[in-house]
Amino acid sequence: MSLILKQIRKSYRQPEGDRLPVLGIDHFELARGEQAALIGSSGGGKTTLLNIISGILVPDSGEVIVDGRNIVSMAEVVRDRYRASRIGIVFQTFNLLPAFTALENVLLGMTFSGRAVNRSFAVELLERVGLGHRLHHRPPRLSVGEQQRVAVARSLANRPVLLLADEPTANVDPANQSLILNLIRDTCKDHQVSLLMVTHSMEAATQFDRVDRLNEFNQPQLCTTGATS
Amino acid sequence: MNLLLIAWKNLLQRRLASALTALSIGLGVMLMVLVLVISGAVETAFTQRSIGYDLIVGPKGSDLQLVLSAVYRIQPPIENLPAMYLDELQADRRVVTAVPLAFGDVTQEGGFPIVGTTTEYFENDYLPGQKFEFGKGGSRIDQLFEAIIGADVARQNGWTLGSTFPILHGGAEGSLHDEEFTVVAVLAPTGTANDRTVFLNLESFYAIDGHEKPVDEIEKRLRDFYAADQDRLDQALAELDDYRQQLRNEEANGVAAVSPRAMQEVTAVLVKTRPETPFDAISLSAELQKGFQAMAVNPIRPIQRLMTNVIGNVQKALVVMTGLIILVSGVSIFVSIYNSMSDRRREIAVMRSLGAGRHHVFGIILAESALLCTGGAAMGWLTGHGVAVLASPWLIRRTGLLISPWTVSPWELTLFPALAVLGILVGFLPAMTAYRTNVADALNQ
Ligand SMILES: Nc1ncnc2c1ncn2[C@@H]1O[C@H](COP(=O)(O)OP(=O)(O)OP(=O)(O)O)[C@@H](O)[C@H]1O
Ligand SMILES: [Mg+2]
């Protein structure tokens, strides 16, 4: 299994002082190389869930097991490094660092994993997403679709086991939407990477073999053993 | 990619703000380097023992002016002493050597000070234990209208052996004397005021037409000078009466008058006393202190006084001021980086999502400010010394100050660690902001 979620509870503190439960997921699994689309309504906790899986957020309780290890119990430094080496992330917008060229953005993805930076693999990835001729362009000089393709290349830079995509096509035109989606799915297939894409649009999800609905298995509830955030 | 490179790229991203803040640091450092180079030169010029003599004897007046004019040749002379007094000094048993100097004129070309003296000047050490060396020519100015020139004079005026030049009288609004002098020797560089001095045979000084003062003026001065020494005064007045007689005879019969010793003057006398009895210098000096119109000055003391009382404090004030400028530049770096932080929250969050730890983003921001500080300082340091190199010929010409533009003062050695610390200090708060960034929130922006 690439990903197993166990008894995840997450709530946010509200301005009034009480807590707003956002997530209550008893069990969720993603097999190695499996691709799943997760559909949820706006404000349904999709981004919160991805942040918990990537270790950016810590759940109030529960276990997030990525590639066999529970990242919730890790020290933050270890979790950061683990994220760098096991998980790739593609956001909806503003994925790239404007000070760096397309190639440098991909290399940056390799910098924090603790492994040696592999430049030829970075070039190969950019070529794979059709940007072999844009290696030295900086993000402001790239179209939104091209930026998103660089982000896809970068998310795979450390040969992760799991790729998380948060509405990766919401900001691109319909023609590019399927192109980018296919790109993500094909490259994940090539590299044996599990893919979890969250979206609120059915349209983007239809291509996926596995489509889950977040509100079907998510029963937001407060954690009984004391909340952290 | 390492953190330093990432920091560098981030700086390039905001290149205008980065360049301006680095520039302000650089300017501060440049000013500090210049202050240090110049004050270092002032200090070495004025604290080393300035000449190879024990005393400078001159007319009563400011001891500082006597040293600045006789040794550094950057002040007009006070007044003159009767040449008869030189003879007295030379006869004194405590005196080993007494070398006369007559000055107050400058060359028409280049405005170099002219000093009339004797060959003895070149036989004595110019600094303790340092003998004059001659780049070209002989080592004597025994004949009338012979001149020995310093290395800078030769270089700047393009004079060499056999060159001739007229001299300009300091007193008489730039009128040229008729006589031409001939260069018979060029001194090797000494790093002292001798390098930009033109030395003339002293006798030719007296021989220059119009250089001689009216007999009545000389008489008045001798009466002042020897007011307490009736014997010498009588002797001098007798010589003057005789000379008046000769002058009348010259007018009437064309028999050339020969000016007597009483008519001759020197501006200062450099005195060496017997080394085995150092008390001689003190007793001579004390004697003159009480006595009439002359004084004997220890060549170092007035300068040391000037150094500690005035120059030293000015120098400290300047160093402190340039230090403050650097500090203010440090604050501008802080403002620049701190202001950029709110725009960069999202960038920091993206880096964190790529697996960068808190310590990574902290380090990147800190590296940015350290790079700005040390980079700006390096540029300022180089331009400071570069300006010193370019300005040194001008400075020598204007002030006689021999600067060594690449000498690194101990203060400067602390400059780079200090600036690295400054960079860390001003970068700390922004780096802390980066460290504390809430990634999930920032990603949602
Ligand atoms: N830091 C926070 N503090 C308080 N409440 C929060 C915080 N972040 C999110 N929420 C709330 O939690 C809920 C889930 O938010 P989340 O961003 O996960 O939804 P989402 O499914 O990604 O929505 P969208 O499709 O609009 O992106 C929302 O109601 C939101 O208001
Ligand atoms: Mg969302």
* pLDDT for residue B277: 81
Asked if A84's CB is within 8 angstroms of B356's CB, the reply is: yes
- Over 70: is that where the pLDDT of B197 sits? yes
Taking the CA of residue B361 and the nearest CA in chain A, the distance in Å comes to: 11
Report the DSSP beta bridge partners of residue B107: B167
| Contacting residues of B for A81, CB less than 8 Å apart | 355, 357
* pLDDT for residue A227: 47
Asked if B1's CB is within 8 angstroms of A51's CB, the reply is: no
d(CA B269, CA A114): 79
Asked if B352's CB is within 8 angstroms of A56's CB, the reply is: yes
Asked if B351's CB is within 8 angstroms of A56's CB, the reply is: no
pLDDT digits (tens, 9 = 90+) for B244-267: 999 898 888 888 888 888 888 999
- Over 70: is that where the pLDDT of B168 sits? no
- Ligand 1 within 6 A of CB of A19: no
B2: nearest CA partner in chain A: A111
Query: Given B267, B299, B331, which residue is the final one in a domain?
Result: B299
Same domain for B414 and B341: yes
- Ligand 1 within 6 A of CB of A10: no
* pLDDT for residue B30: 92
Of the given ranges (A126-135, B33-42, B150-159), which has the lowest mean pLDDT? B33-42
Q: Whose CA is nearest to atom 6 of ligand 1?
A: A12
Greatest mean pLDDT among A200-209, B111-120, B286-295 lies in B111-120
- Over 80: is that where the pLDDT of B162 sits? yes
DSSP state of B194: G
Same domain for B332 and B220: no
- Is-contact B75 B68, C-beta < 8 A? yes
The number of distinct structural domains making up chain B is 2
What is the residue-averaged pLDDT of chain B?
A: 86
B1: nearest CA partner in chain A: A111
CA–centroid distance, residue A76 to ligand 2 (Å): 23
Point out the residue among A83, A97, A117 whose CB comes nearest to the CB of B350: A97
Identify the band that residue A40 occupies on the pLDDT scale cut at 50, 70 and 90.
very high
Structural domain boundaries, residue B436: 3-46+305-444
Mean pLDDT of B399-426: 82
The ligand whose atoms approach the alpha carbon of A49 most closely is 1
Instruction: Return the SS3 of B123.
Output: helix
Same domain for B59 and B40: no
Pseudo-torsion of CA A67, A69, A70, A71, nearest 10°? -80
- Ligand 1 within 6 A of CB of A69: no
Point out the residue among A57, A96, A117 whose CB comes nearest to the CB of B1: A117
Asked if B353's CB is within 8 angstroms of A89's CB, the reply is: yes
* pLDDT for residue A117: 87
Same domain for B101 and B228: yes
Tokens of A219: 């029963």
Instruction: Return the SS3 of A107.
Output: helix
Query: Given B259, B274, B299, which residue is the final one in a domain?
Result: B299
CA–centroid distance, residue A44 to ligand 1 (Å): 7
* pLDDT for residue A9: 93
Same domain for B310 and B262: no
| Contacting residues of B for A56, CB less than 8 Å apart | 352-353, 439-440, 443
d(CA B148, CA B200): 7
pLDDT digits (tens, 9 = 90+) for B288-334: 777 667 888 888 888 888 878 887 888 888 889 988 988 888 898 88
Substitution site in A11, A22, A212, A218 for ligand 1 pocket (most atoms within 8 Å of beta carbon): A22
Same domain for B360 and B294: no
Of the given ranges (B167-176, B202-211, B397-406), which has the lowest mean pLDDT? B167-176
* pLDDT for residue B309: 83
Taking the CA of residue B49 and the nearest CA in chain A, the distance in Å comes to: 59
Report the DSSP beta bridge partners of residue A89: A164
Tell me which of B381 and B46 has the higher pLDDT: B381
Asked if B346's CB is within 8 angstroms of A109's CB, the reply is: no
CA–centroid distance, residue B442 to ligand 2 (Å): 13
Q: What is the DSSP string of B307-347?
A: IIIIIHHHHHHHHHHHHHHHHHHHHHHHHHHHHHHHHTHHH
Best B347, B354, B444 residue to mutate vs chain A (most A CBs within 10 Å): B354
Identify the band that residue B148 occupies on the pLDDT scale cut at 50, 70 and 90.
very high
List Cα–Cα distances, A181 to A6, A194, A203, B112, in angstroms.
29, 14, 11, 85
Residues of B engaging A, defined by a Cβ cutoff of 8 Å: 1-2, 6, 9-10, 12-13, 346-347, 350-360, 439-440, 443-444
Degrees, nearest 5: CA angle B190-B193-B194: 60
* pLDDT for residue B400: 62
Tell me which of B104 and A24 has the higher pLDDT: A24
* pLDDT for residue B399: 65
Greatest mean pLDDT among B22-31, B101-110, B210-219 lies in B22-31
Same domain for B324 and B289: no
Strand order through the sheet with A87-90: A87-90, A162-166, A194-199, A35-39, A210-213
- Over 70: is that where the pLDDT of A226 sits? no
| Contacting residues of B for A161, CB less than 8 Å apart | none
Q: Give me the interface pTM, i.e. the ipTM.
A: 0.92
pLDDT digits (tens, 9 = 90+) for B364-381: 999 999 999 999 999 999
Taking the CA of residue B347 and the nearest CA in chain A, the distance in Å comes to: 6
Mean pLDDT of A87-97: 89
Mean pLDDT of B18-30: 91
Same domain for B118 and B13: no
Taking the CA of residue A83 and the nearest CA in chain B, the distance in Å comes to: 5
Nearest one of B429, B422, B421 to B21, comparing CA atoms: B422
Identify the band that residue A94 occupies on the pLDDT scale cut at 50, 70 and 90.
confident
d(CA B10, CA B353): 18
pLDDT digits (tens, 9 = 90+) for B212-241: 778 888 999 888 888 888 888 999 999 999
Same domain for B55 and B40: no
Tell me which of B179 and B308 has the higher pLDDT: B308
- Ligand 1 within 6 A of CB of A40: yes
Identify the band that residue B361 occupies on the pLDDT scale cut at 50, 70 and 90.
very high
- Over 80: is that where the pLDDT of B44 sits? no
Same domain for B107 and B145: yes
Identify the band that residue B172 occupies on the pLDDT scale cut at 50, 70 and 90.
very low
Reported in sequence order, the residue ranges of B169-209 that DSSP labels E, i.e. its strands, are: 176-187, 198-201
Query: Given B264, B299, B334, which residue is the final one in a domain?
Result: B299
CA–centroid distance, residue A22 to ligand 1 (Å): 8
Q: What is the DSSP string of B54-107?
A: SEEEEESS-HHHHHIIIII--S-----EEHHHHHHHHH-TTEEEEEEEEEEEEE
- Ligand 1 within 6 A of CB of A42: yes
d(CA B402, CA A116): 55
Same domain for B316 and B261: no
* pLDDT for residue B75: 79
- Over 80: is that where the pLDDT of B405 sits? no
Point out the residue among A51, A82, A117 whose CB comes nearest to the CB of B440: A51
CA–centroid distance, residue A78 to ligand 2 (Å): 26
Identify the band that residue B177 occupies on the pLDDT scale cut at 50, 70 and 90.
low
Same domain for B282 and B368: no
Mean pLDDT of B89-98: 89
Q: Whose CA is nearest to atom 7 of ligand 1?
A: A12
Tell me which of B100 and B173 has the higher pLDDT: B100
- Over 90: is that where the pLDDT of B392 sits? no
* pLDDT for residue B35: 86
